[in-house]
Chains A and B, each alone.
Chain A
């Protein structure tokens, strides 16, 4: 069964590639005759075809029916290299075992939004990926119909085989692929009814799993090329400093060292992109033959730095945020009803402040990039979440047209937002140009952790007004951060309270900040959901029941028009987690906390169980209820939720990046504490709402709510409310 769900598609994604005389869309004759190759989805060896026929930008069909699907978006661990091709394969109606997945390079003509960010790859790719598969299927069908002289409407497909039931004829996709390439690209295609999906919704293993567990070269740092040199860059030791001069005499005398020079990634007149965040545009670069030689030479550099701004410290920044949070904003971000009156008339007012420090992204693979820049062209290869913007910046900085700059993405050893800001790619390009050689730029862990682009430091103040019947009659949130407020004015409980006020402050600083997994939500969810737990307690209500009352209000009689959540779906995940966890606030030795949050278009509710071991609280189990619409790959989806909550627990409990006199105080994992095996939950149980709604992303939504679920459970375990992250700093008991 198929039905027409979407008729329109973006034609530029389906433009045919240059037609070769007589041969359909023949590409790469005898490209690969080897058997098993990276990206092959099957466990067994897959025989590679003699010839490939490119049907559209997303796929090519081999003469033996094997299909290569190109995954357009950067893979940073969110598993899109598996889930995006699954969507194409579903509509193409091919056997997943006969699919090979390849990472596509940056190609702004063929693809739209090749970005890993905002958990949007699946949501925004859903239609175009389905169209890509369905369009190719239709062209294959038309080719078979023409060959057999039958109407295309009489043909069906199943797992890569075309059938004409009336005549009993069948053929594989491979046999008609060359003819299919000559068909017109259809203006309209039919898409499957989701109930007929056979690949989407089926647990599917990571396409790179074999290569990962056998140590094959996959990542940016693994890139090796003939004649390639290694480069490392020294940045100033403090925010507010730049390079004044350097003495490279000792470094240059060391074995393997080729050159030492400075670069500036912001030359006058070069246009900047939003992604060009770096506190240290000028760097001293060491180029040499091997990583260890360059690491040692970098330490032998004598660099004189000069002050260009204030040398800030965490203490003074926190004091400034504390002052800021006392002041009303010039203009409210949102105001409903009369909050002043509601608070004046309240029977009870609860007021609390929450704060969190800067966080480093710390992907396990430090920043790096390969570049080979000549007078004619620039080849860039490496881990980047925003290749399109890197291309624009490299073009501006090198003064080279974009079409001469190719960017290929490797598999990326984590992103978490850090690789949105591709200064390291620009640096690699400039270094290669100056060194006149192919170069791999490598950041040490210390270079990576002290380079900035941190999760902003935040502070937020909440006030709630209860009437004598313990109804929430007023709600006030005021947020501040370096840089930017964490408050989303139109998120819950906006829409559920008659008198509501949201205010934003931003504090400037020369410490660079940027998007960090689930930007703003990664702090505000924890604060908001901890606060609501206290409000429920003050009102004498069960925390889930109180939230459900508010959602009922927001659903039936919402306040305001701009509420950015669906109250029914929000309540749905809470009800589900309540049922699955057998909710009760305390259960014998177990202390429990609940939290729910909506961000990046998905809804997640979590219940945490804490047990005491050797007098220390330990997260034993987490229940998750998730509404992300259709679940494309259940095994990958669960992994994202599990990883997100472990990440959230770790950063709420243990991690902080502090500054003293402009200098980051944590430089490596000996002083920057990351969650480890012994601190992770023992068990995670994840349930998905089955509602058939078009899918939304999961890279981020699992993280934000967990911080409050843990804080609320810890309160019930220890009797102490937690207001400052990391929680270990507040409560030594946590170890």
Chain B
């Protein structure tokens, strides 16, 4: 066990875990922040996507020992009250079916729109290709990303 200080959603937190513990499980088990989801554990499905210094990363494959001094943002901290343009677009398009993968989809989409305010369809598809939606809401996800893009640009 070791002690780590991490900045999550603008707040400093101290946790005691083993150094190889992925951020995903620090969030979910140590801090009780369960919005970030476990899907595959090997960085293949994107359900666990968070932002490290504003960039989308897979929290299931990122040990706590590698994020000291970095700013972590989770779905709980993307906005204070669910009013980030991506979250609002997800609601407007009624994207979710089961909803389980959507936190990861939203975090990935928000990161995409930070770096590319007005992505083409092909750019959206390519940027989102690492996020699996088993319910098949891909068509709506793309529409929602476009709506968010319009709001943000």
Interface string of B96-123 (1 = CB under 8 A from A): 1111111100100000000000000100
User: What CA separation (Å) do A684 and B32 show in the bound complex?
Assistant: 39
Interface residues of B in 7-30 (CB under 8 A from A): 17-18, 20-22, 25, 28-30
- Contact A222-B34, Cβ < 8 Å, known A413-B98, A643-B97: yes
For residue B129, CB closer than 8 A to chain A, the reply is yes
Task: Give the contact stretch, choosing among A290-298, A335-343, A508-516, A715-723.
Answer: A290-298
* Nearest-Cβ distance from residue B4 to partner chain A, whole angstroms: 13
Interface string of A418-447 (1 = CB under 8 A from B): 000000000000000000000000001100
Residues of A within 8 Å of B99, CB to CB, are: 77, 206, 208, 212, 218, 411, 413
User: What CA separation (Å) do A239 and B102 show in the bound complex?
Assistant: 34
In the complex, the answer to whether B139 meets A224 with C-beta atoms within 8 Å is no
In the complex, the answer to whether B94 meets A677 with C-beta atoms within 8 Å is no
For B29, the closest partner residue in chain A by CB is A290
For residue A499, CB closer than 8 A to chain B, the reply is no
In the complex, the answer to whether A642 meets B126 with C-beta atoms within 8 Å is no
Residues of B within 8 Å of A635, CB to CB, are: 94
Selected A-B contacts with CB under 8 Å, 21 pairs: A212-B102, A213-B96, A214-B35, A293-B18, A364-B101, A411-B99, A412-B98, A413-B99, A416-B134, A444-B41, A445-B39, A445-B42, A645-B136, A646-B137, A647-B134, A647-B136, A668-B41, A676-B130, A676-B138, A677-B141, A678-B129
Residues of A within 8 Å of B21, CB to CB, are: 290, 292
For A674, the closest partner residue in chain B by CB is B132
User: What CA separation (Å) do A215 and B79 show in the bound complex?
Assistant: 11
For residue A639, CB closer than 8 A to chain B, the reply is yes
Interface string of B67-108 (1 = CB under 8 A from A): 000000011101101100001001100101111111100100
Q: Can you add 5 more A-B contacts, CB < 8 Å, to A292-B21, A364-B39, A413-B37?
A: A208-B96, A215-B76, A414-B134, A643-B137, A647-B136
For residue B149, CB closer than 8 A to chain A, the reply is no
In the complex, the answer to whether B91 meets A291 with C-beta atoms within 8 Å is no
In the complex, the answer to whether B134 meets A669 with C-beta atoms within 8 Å is no
- Contact A636-B98, Cβ < 8 Å, known A214-B82, A669-B40, A676-B132: no
* Nearest-Cβ distance from residue B79 to partner chain A, whole angstroms: 8
In the complex, the answer to whether A670 meets B42 with C-beta atoms within 8 Å is yes
In the complex, the answer to whether B129 meets A676 with C-beta atoms within 8 Å is yes
Interface residues of A in 454-484 (CB under 8 A from B): none
Residues of B within 8 Å of A546, CB to CB, are: none
User: What CA separation (Å) do A412 and B99 show in the bound complex?
Assistant: 8
In the complex, the answer to whether A215 meets B136 with C-beta atoms within 8 Å is no
* Nearest-Cβ distance from residue A232 to partner chain B, whole angstroms: 12
Partner of A364, one of B17, B45, B121: B45
In the complex, the answer to whether A219 meets B100 with C-beta atoms within 8 Å is yes
Residues of B within 8 Å of A290, CB to CB, are: 17, 21, 25, 29-30
In the complex, the answer to whether B136 meets A643 with C-beta atoms within 8 Å is yes
- Contact A674-B134, Cβ < 8 Å, known A212-B96, A215-B76: yes
* Nearest-Cβ distance from residue B10 to partner chain A, whole angstroms: 16
In the complex, the answer to whether B129 meets A365 with C-beta atoms within 8 Å is no
In the complex, the answer to whether A365 meets B37 with C-beta atoms within 8 Å is yes
User: What CA separation (Å) do A668 and B90 show in the bound complex?
Assistant: 28
User: What CA separation (Å) do A230 and B29 show in the bound complex?
Assistant: 10
Partner of A647, one of B32, B82, B135: B135
Give the most central of A216, A444, A639, A677: most B CB within 10 Å: A677
- Contact A677-B135, Cβ < 8 Å, known A76-B98, A214-B35, A215-B75: no
User: What CA separation (Å) do A206 and B98 show in the bound complex?
Assistant: 10
In the complex, the answer to whether A682 meets B121 with C-beta atoms within 8 Å is yes
In the complex, the answer to whether A680 meets B132 with C-beta atoms within 8 Å is no
* A-B residue pair count with CB separations less than 8 angstroms: 193
Residues of B within 8 Å of A160, CB to CB, are: none
In the complex, the answer to whether A677 meets B74 with C-beta atoms within 8 Å is no
Interface string of A633-644 (1 = CB under 8 A from B): 001100110111
Residues of A within 8 Å of B76, CB to CB, are: 214-215
* Nearest-Cβ distance from residue B99 to partner chain A, whole angstroms: 4
In the complex, the answer to whether B75 meets A677 with C-beta atoms within 8 Å is no
For residue A571, CB closer than 8 A to chain B, the reply is no
Residues of B within 8 Å of A412, CB to CB, are: 98
User: What CA separation (Å) do A643 and B37 show in the bound complex?
Assistant: 21
In the complex, the answer to whether A364 meets B30 with C-beta atoms within 8 Å is no
Partner of A77, one of B79, B125, B135, B142: B135
Interface string of A586-598 (1 = CB under 8 A from B): 0000000000000
Residues of A within 8 Å of B138, CB to CB, are: 646, 675-677, 680
In the complex, the answer to whether B37 meets A221 with C-beta atoms within 8 Å is yes
Interface residues of A in 197-213 (CB under 8 A from B): 205-206, 208-210, 212-213
In the complex, the answer to whether B129 meets A639 with C-beta atoms within 8 Å is no
* Nearest-Cβ distance from residue B42 to partner chain A, whole angstroms: 6
User: What CA separation (Å) do A32 and B71 show in the bound complex?
Assistant: 36
For residue B47, CB closer than 8 A to chain A, the reply is yes
In the complex, the answer to whether A668 meets B40 with C-beta atoms within 8 Å is yes
In the complex, the answer to whether B18 meets A642 with C-beta atoms within 8 Å is no
- Contact A213-B97, Cβ < 8 Å, known A364-B47, A644-B136, A650-B136: no
User: What CA separation (Å) do A677 and B137 show in the bound complex?
Assistant: 9
Residues of B within 8 Å of A214, CB to CB, are: 35, 75-76, 78-79, 81-82, 87
For residue A363, CB closer than 8 A to chain B, the reply is yes
In the complex, the answer to whether B98 meets A677 with C-beta atoms within 8 Å is no
* Nearest-Cβ distance from residue A254 to partner chain B, whole angstroms: 9
User: What CA separation (Å) do A675 and B140 show in the bound complex?
Assistant: 15
